[in-house]
A = this chain, B = another copy of it.
């Protein structure tokens, strides 16, 4: 019973396999992370605190990224401004 469904079936199969393959890899890495935490615990670290540190650093990184994005927006605006004499003067005065 070959039909138009065959292509769909093959596509579907491919999609599912790609996802399952990726999830497998993801799981391997997640297991690695658990292992690192386990080792750290054996070495006397408090994993709960450790996790908090990681989370805090992630938040900081996000904030930095946010700030960088804002800065970039400013710079882009200044770039436009820089095309005018008035803008160029402002840029120079403010040290950009």
Contact = CB atoms under 8 A, between A and B. Distances in A.
Contact of A11 (B43, B60, B73): B43
Contact of A40 (B5, B15, B77, B90): B15
Contacts of A66: 52, 55-56, 59
Query: In the complex this chain forms, how many copies of it are found?
Result: 4
Nearest to A90: B4
A96 B69 CA distance: 37
Interface in A2-34: 3-5, 11-12, 15-16, 18-20, 22-23, 25-26, 29-30, 32-33
A94 interface: yes
Contact of A23 (B33, B63, B69): B33
Nearest to A94: B5
